[in-house]
Amino acid sequence: MAEFRAPVESYKGKIVEVTIGKGDKAVKIGGENVFAFNQAFDEGSWPNPPKVAVEIWDMEPEGWVKGILDFYGDAVSDPAQWAKKVAEALNPDLIFLYMLSTDPNEKDTPPERAVEVAKAVYEAAGLPLIVYCTGNETKDPQVLQKVAEALSGENLLLGPAIKEDYEPIAQAAKEHGHCLSSQAPIDINLQKELNVKLTRIVPAEKVVMDPLAPCVGVGFEFGFSIFERQKHAGISFGDEMMQMPLLANFSFEVWKTKEAKGNEKMGLMWEEMTAMGYLLAGANLLVVRHPEAYRKVKELIERYKKS
Amino acid sequence: MVIIGENIHILSKKVSEAINNKDAKVIQELAKEQAAAGVDYIDLNIGPARKNPEIMAWLVETVQEVVDLPLSLDSTNPKAVEEGLKVAKWRALINSASGRTDSKEQMMPLAVKYDCDVVISVLNDQGIPADAEARAESIMDTVTYANELGIENERIWVDPIIMPVSVDQKAVAEALEFMKMLQDLLPGVKSTVGLSNVSNGTPKELRGILNRTYMVMLDLCGTYSAIADAFDEELMALAKGKMPEIVELIRKVMEGEDVDPNSLPPKERDYVKTAKVLLGDTLYSHTWLEL
């Protein structure tokens, strides 16, 4: 009798490998030609397990739960100290610096201050850095252009680039050698259009997709579905304009829910479950807030990587 | 392919003003221009016409004064459609009935009373069916009902309801599958589509190529007619068999032959790229022609 061979699926496309940061600490995401955690079935390769960034702000946190504040202590009053603490205590893959204070509806802090904060954070942490603004189409380009220039050549991940403001941000990323995120609001067709436009300025190896990542209980199913569809378009259908790695930036959403705010233990589970969902949907890069969530999510990825 | 000219449409500002002012000249010009462009029917779309259903009679008479073409009486209001049927000179087309209870009760009997043709869409009380099979199920029920009223298949024009490709790419491909199986389901029925809906939401300058390509694809799937833009010259040429090489190219794409768009001249390339999008082989974005 002939030996039984299990059927092996093979796919047309491969996710682009994107490197963020430089030197020893640089992280690689993407590069897979199979779906999340499917490397065990000999279907293809999954060379870069998902990476996890820890969220900090460019201002003192507001409304954060006690456990996180206790963990960081006084460090949260200064972004650089905060970043240093994150690096020492957690040594995450990346730092996610949220430039919330630059938003005109927040404190409208000037781009010059954002530059100081970004430089100080980058130097203090010594880790690959994601610098994210709030999606304000007039302010974001001003901030991100200055940051790109000040940290020229450091290969940060800048974002978000949206359809209204992608041009100056992409030009700055190109000129100063950074990656950028292509953000389209849960819409695969708009995502593709923006990717097409961005890749006329920078190569796909510099682009990460951010389709928005609503958390569990607040539209997670839409997020899961769009992550899955975008990954399918890239891998199953071989659509080159959908082969950039996926960023799941949900921590802000998780900790905005009243359940998470009111009950830290529940919030922690909320964040972990949301993270797990996006990992299964194909996320290549996650952003988490709670130090304990960071540990749990990393542990989960390590465990699945081995099996 | 039988073309029903869509250009007398209440959503057009020019048309709605002309109807409100009973300006016969504007309407007659639009009718004559569509006739000259080669349409087979002229659609008279007045929307729901709740306040003035009798306007359909005026419109029919106005158009009949200048063109010798059958008319498609396009309103969701049975009263308006009946006003038109009363004065129509040639066998008219009711556009449209559906599987909705009110439509079955009020619109469909008009096709019996006036012995005319009727568009029946896949819409039913539950809304628009999701996929080809659900469309089939819905239309079988509705057509059976129409048959029982005495409307034979040959007088029924099935409308699968076309969705915009920018909204629901899958549904666009599903509608093609549905058209392929229609003759097996309901032998002898005719069919029609609101063609321009496929390009709703797409930038204006890109709508034509979507409409034209999809029309050819629908034609290749056995669709009988389309309600379409009579003023798109290339569309009319395609519909009347004057561009067989483009049709052949689209047929190849539909049959899965390996056609490399980039090996072709610009016009052919655009048709091939568009056909791939409409088949669902390429993910839609507004930039599909630039890739």
- Interval A39-48: pLDDT, tens: 666 678 889 9
CB contact under 8 A, A189 and B169: yes
Task: Identify the pLDDT of residue A39.
Answer: 66
* Domain annotation covers residue A5: no
Q: What is the sign of the dihedral through the CA atoms of A198, A202, A204 and A209? A: negative
Q: If interface means Cβ-Cβ distance under 8 Å, which residues of chain B face chain A?
A: 166, 169, 281-287, 290-291
* Domain annotation covers residue A159: yes
Would you say A76 and A82 are in contact if contact means Cβ atoms under 8 Å apart?
A: yes
Task: Identify the pLDDT of residue A41.
Answer: 67
User: Which residues, in sequence order, are bridge partners of residue B227?
Assistant: B4, B194
Radius of gyration, alpha carbons of chain B: 19
* Domain annotation covers residue A85: yes
Q: What is the sign of the dihedral through the CA atoms of A282, A284, A288 and A292? A: positive
**A192, A230, A237, best to mutate vs chain B, most B CBs in 10 Å:** A192
Would you say A193 and A182 are in contact if contact means Cβ atoms under 8 Å apart?
A: no
Using DSSP's 3-state secondary structure scheme, residue B253 falls into: helix
**Residue B221, token pair as written in the block:** 């799937």
**Residues A113/A119/A121/A124 CA torsion (nearest 10 deg):** -140
- CA distances from residue A201 to A172, A173, A196, B106, B289 in whole angstroms, order as listed: 10, 9, 9, 58, 18
Q: What is the sign of the dihedral through the CA atoms of A187, A55, A164 and A206? A: negative
Strands annotated E in A5-116: 18-20, 27-29, 51-57, 94-98
pLDDT in tens, A208-252: 999 999 999 899 999 999 999 999 999 988 999 999 999 999 999
pLDDT at residue A283 greater than cutoff 70: yes
Residue of B nearest to A199 (CA): B291
Q: What share of chain A is helix, strand, coil (3-state, %, to 5)?
A: 50, 15, 40
Mean pLDDT of A73-78: 96
Using DSSP's 3-state secondary structure scheme, residue A207 falls into: strand
pTM to 2 decimals? 0.84
Distance from B270 to chain A by nearest Cα, in Å? 17
Residues 6+ apart with CB under 8 A from B68: B90
pLDDT at residue A201 greater than cutoff 90: yes
Type of residue found at B71:
L
* Domain annotation covers residue A115: yes
Provide the CATH number for the domain around residue A49. Answer: 3.20.20.20
pLDDT at residue A1 greater than cutoff 90: no
**A163, A166, A189, A201, best to mutate vs chain B, most B CBs in 10 Å:** A189
CB contact under 8 A, A188 and B166: no
Strands annotated E in B68-224: 71-75, 93-99, 117-124, 156-159, 190-191
Domain ranges of chain B: 2-240
Overall domain count for chain A: 1
pLDDT at residue A5 greater than cutoff 80: no
Task: Identify the pLDDT of residue A40.
Answer: 64
* Domain annotation covers residue A255: yes
Task: Identify the pLDDT of residue A211.
Answer: 98
Task: Identify the pLDDT of residue A38.
Answer: 76
Task: Identify the pLDDT of residue A31.
Answer: 95
Mean pLDDT of A123-144: 98
Q: If interface means Cβ-Cβ distance under 8 Å, which residues of chain A face chain B?
A: 188-193, 196-197, 233, 237, 239, 241-242
CB contact under 8 A, B286 and A197: no
Q: List the pLDDT tens digit at each of the 291 positions of chain B.
A: 999 999 999 999 999 999 999 999 999 999 999 999 999 999 999 999 889 999 999 999 999 999 999 999 999 999 999 999 999 999 999 999 999 999 999 999 999 999 999 999 999 999 999 888 999 999 999 999 999 999 999 999 999 999 999 999 999 999 999 999 999 999 999 999 999 999 999 999 999 999 999 999 999 999 999 999 999 999 999 999 999 999 999 999 999 999 999 999 999 999 999 999 999 999 999 999 998
Q: How big is the A-B interface in CB pairs under 8 Å?
A: 30
Would you say A194 and A166 are in contact if contact means Cβ atoms under 8 Å apart?
A: yes
Would you say A234 and A5 are in contact if contact means Cβ atoms under 8 Å apart?
A: no
- Can you give the length of chain B in residues? 291
Q: What is the Cα–Cα distance from A11 to B261, expressed in whole angstroms?
A: 23
> For the structural domain made of B2-240, what CATH number should be given?
3.20.20.20
Q: What is the Cα–Cα distance from B61 to B44, expressed in whole angstroms?
A: 11
Distance from A204 to chain B by nearest Cα, in Å? 14
Q: What is the Cα–Cα distance from B15 to B44, expressed in whole angstroms?
A: 10
* Domain annotation covers residue A8: no
Task: From chain B, pick out residues whose CB is under 8 angstroms from the CB of A191.
Answer: 285
Residue of B nearest to A198 (CA): B287
Distance from B287 to chain A by nearest Cα, in Å? 6
CB contact under 8 A, B286 and A241: no
**Residue A6, token pair as written in the block:** 């299990």
Residue of B nearest to A229 (CA): B283
Using DSSP's 3-state secondary structure scheme, residue A281 falls into: helix
Q: Is the peptide bond before A152 cis (omega within 30 degrees of 0)?
A: no
| Domain of A136, in residue numbers | 18-306
Phi first, then psi: what are they for A84, rounded to 5°? Answer: -65, -45
**B262, B283, B288, best to mutate vs chain A, most A CBs in 10 Å:** B283
Residues 6+ apart with CB under 8 A from B130: B171
DSSP assignment, residue B123? E
ipTM: 0.74
Q: What is the Cα–Cα distance from B279 to A3, expressed in whole angstroms?
A: 39
pLDDT at residue A281 greater than cutoff 80: yes
Among A249, A217, A244, A247, smallest CA distance to A233 is for: A244
Distance from A187 to chain B by nearest Cα, in Å? 10
pLDDT at residue A306 greater than cutoff 70: no
Task: From chain B, pick out residues whose CB is under 8 angstroms from the CB of A229.
Answer: none
* Domain annotation covers residue A4: no
CB contact under 8 A, A188 and B283: yes
